[in-house]
Amino acid sequence: MLSILTGLLLLMVLAYFGWSILWVAPLAAGVVALMSGLDVFDTYTGTYMEGLVGFVVKWFPIFLLGAVFGKLMETTGAAKAVALKVTQLIGKKRAILGVLIAAAVLTYGGVSLFVVVFAIYPIALELFREANVSRKLLVPTFALGAFTFTMTSMPGTPQIQNLIPMDYFGTTPMAGPIIGIVTSLIMAVGGYAWLHFRQKQLTKAGEGFTEPSKKLEADDQQVVPNWIISLLPLAVVVILLNGFKLEPLYALLLGILAILLLNVRLYKTFIESINEGAKGSVMAILNTSAAVGFGAVIAVVPAFDSITNWLLGISDNPLVAEAVSVQVMAIITGSASGGMGIALSTLGDTFASLSQSTGISAEVFHRIASVASGASIFPNNGALLTLLAVTGLTHRETYKDVCMVAFLIPTIALIVGVIMGAIGLI
């Protein structure tokens, strides 16, 4: 038990200080193996690598196509066109709401959250400047729009956090629609209400927009396409995935094809964009699968049975055990998909069998796992660290609000989701 706790603490601390999970995860796994009396070499080359490779085998095509889709949306200007239109419709006076909705639309359409940040940041900066809103609220606004409800709760989202549970529970992206809608509303409405309150509070204190120290290189030369045309690839992915029940692989592939056909005049940029997307997908899946490999090592330590029994004994309702295990692992690894990967790779089969024995729908288990994975934005979160790097802001300036909109309110939504699942509302 001490070996597992030591390994988890080491993983969390080193990740917090920005050390790459690619070597932190096997290092932590080696510490766990050594302290547990396992053969370190055999554990690394066998158990750890089997867990890592197994995740890559299952999910690399989705990561690859998702990254290529997002990169093409960025380089063709389609993501920017959609964001511009949304913010125009909302108006400059409601800068926070405009950025929030633009990020949510793109994320729900299948664009990766990292691409969303890079595509919208220049627009968000201009809107916040025009409305004289403190830049401190940029980070929590992005976190709410791209890292929470559209990533995990909204039924049908093509984000990986909503696709991974399908493999364990035999479900679809639309699993648990009522729970998904209710938890999405709690996050979206509650989060925006907090940001609106904070805007008023900061304005009253005389704190308005301040120019970033690092000047943004604006790409004013990019000619953005028509926003309706730009919206079509997003609609293609969502409709094919949910309306036609197409496999995520095919939905993303046809979404990519739609981008290429609608922007054929930019064909000279396609190869470079696809190459860049492919490169990005490799790092993304390796970061997640490295964490999954660590989970595989934890699962073979004899004391893990005690942890499993403790988790399952937390409550008579197994949804509580699932919510806690996924959320805690996501917090520790600093990754929603990585934490979910660890929890479901070690306990997924148990939860699937409990679904049959308890009569709780597999759809509920799917949705709770997704929501729990996103209610995990601690300071060591990889997406948050990227967002801070892009905006030039710090934890000290932003984390109070990030914690509220991307951890506390999503945790409240998670609790509500568990209660709904327990009483049979799906």
Summarize pLDDT for 294-317 with one digit per residue, the tens. Answer: 888 988 888 888 877 888 888 889
324-352 pLDDT, tens digit per residue, is: 999 988 887 778 988 898 899 889 999 99
Name the band, by pLDDT with cuts 50, 70 and 90, for residue 216: low
pLDDT(11) > 90 = no
Q: Do 210 and 397 meet the contact criterion of CB atoms below 8 Å apart?
A: no
Query: What pLDDT does 354 receive?
Result: 93
| H or E element at residue 106 | helix 95-108
74-124 pLDDT, tens digit per residue, is: 899 999 999 999 999 998 789 999 999 999 999 999 998 878 888 888 889
Can you give the residue ranges of every domain in the chain?
A: 1-207+223-423
How far is residue 383's CA from residue 392's CA, in Å, rounded to a whole number?
14
In the chain, the percentage of residues whose pLDDT exceeds 90 is: 66
- Record the pTM: 0.87
pLDDT(200) > 90 = yes
Enumerate residues 6+ apart whose C-beta is below 8 A from 348: 168, 169
Smallest CA-to-CA distance from 90 within 103, 74, 107, 79 is with 103
H-assigned helices in 17-48: 21-36, 40-42
252-272 pLDDT, tens digit per residue, is: 999 999 999 999 999 999 999
How far is residue 76's CA from residue 140's CA, in Å, rounded to a whole number?
27
* Distance, CA of 74 to chain centre: 18
Q: Do 275 and 88 meet the contact criterion of CB atoms below 8 Å apart?
A: no
Query: What pLDDT does 298 receive?
Result: 86
Q: Do 68 and 61 meet the contact criterion of CB atoms below 8 Å apart?
A: no
CA atoms within 13 A on the CB side of 93: 0
How far is residue 204's CA from residue 201's CA, in Å, rounded to a whole number?
5
Helix axes 177-204 and 138-147, enclosed angle (nearest 10): 170
**DSSP reduced 3-state for 66:** helix
Indicate the length of the chain as a whole number: 426
